[in-house]
Amino acid sequence: MFKFFSRPITLVTLTRGRGISLAVLAFVGATMLAGPTAAQSNEGEPIIWDARRLSTLERNVRRIERALFQRNSSGQPFIMEPDPEVVALQGQMGSVDTRLADVERTIQRMNGDIERLTFALDETERENTLLRSQLTEAEARIEELESAARLEAELNAPIEPNSPSGTASGDLRAADRLMNQDSRRGARAYEVLLVTWPDEPEARLAAVRLADLYLANDAAAAVPLYAQALRGWPAEPWAAKATVDLAQALVATDRDTQACAALTDFGRRYGETAPAALKTRAASVRTEAGCR
């Protein structure tokens, strides 16, 4: 028996010697293809096909040819059976192919799952980004509301004597700086200075600056502040303008008689040294109040 193919091959009886030769040559050719490789593998040296080796090969082929002819003539066809190892290997390869197909389907399924998970992860990341942005905005809004609440509590607390610097002049400078930053806190600082240093010259300036802040929108609140600052008719440079402002606040609160009296004091006490623009403004307020 010779084992080369996966299926049994039957060589039927050939009537012509040439047909047998061709079959034998085909078999021997396959043997030659396998023979040198095995020889090289076992001996480690290549086969040199010289004339002697070729002659020996031809004699062997003739012997095999005669043997095959005799077997076929006696009704015993030559059958080349598959090698059991090859059959087993083919079975293993089939099993491997099946497992590979299963693995490929599993990988495809996993790839689909990964794509869906990636998409879901991207969506989650976008939602998280949006939530973080909203949370940041909410925190900023809460901080803003808390700051506003603290400011309202500070501004609405009872006014009590307090001197951050320890001196009236230092407190006035601090209030002026605060006014430039936050008018509401600056006004509060002037109010605290008034109750802390009521008899100091800085209290007069604080009253004037606070009255100037109220004049446009709350003339009624400005009137007592101007009156407090002008008590005793001080000779400071700001006194002339404060007198005209007092008259304007009195007109705005429908107290024309008192406004005319304040303008009279302006002319008598500050008229000679007052700037021309301030005199013109005083005349305008006089006309508005209907003074004689």
- How does pLDDT run across 224-262, given as a tens digit for each residue? 999 999 999 998 999 999 999 999 999 999 999 999 999
| Of residues 161, 223, 157, 166, the one with CA closest to residue 184 | 157
53-74 residue pLDDT tens: 888 888 888 888 787 777 777 7
Q: Are residues 106 and 182 part of one domain?
A: no
- 145 shares its domain with 254: no
**Between 4 and 26, the higher pLDDT residue:** 26
End position of a domain, from candidates 65, 82, 99: 82
The last residue of one of the domains, among 108, 131, 157, is 157
Three-state DSSP state, 18: helix
Residues 195 and 282 in one domain: yes
Nearest one of 207, 211, 208 to 197, comparing CA atoms: 207
The domain boundary residue, chosen from 157, 192, 213: 157
The pLDDT score that the predictor gives to residue 281 is 94
Q: State the residue range of the domain holding 129.
A: 83-157
Specify whether the CB–CB gap between 71 and 78 falls below 8 A. yes
Structural contact between residues 285 and 263, judged by C-beta atoms closer than 8 angstroms: yes
| Number of domains present in the structure of the chain | 3
Residue 192's closest CA among 215, 220, 170? 170
Assess if residue 1 is contained within a domain.
no
* Model confidence, pTM: 0.51
- Asked if the structure places residue 143 within a domain, the reply is yes
Higher pLDDT, 83 or 190: 190
Task: Retrieve residue 17's tokens.
Answer: 């010697």
In a shared domain, residues 62 and 115: no
Tell whether 284 and 205 lie within a shared domain.
yes
33 and 130 inside one domain: no
Placement of tokens 């009624």 in the chain? 220
Query: From the centroid of its chain, how far is CA 34?
Result: 68
Residue 45 within any structural domain of the chain: yes
Q: Residue 79: beta bridge partners?
A: 10
Q: Which residue has the tokens 């491997």?
A: 96
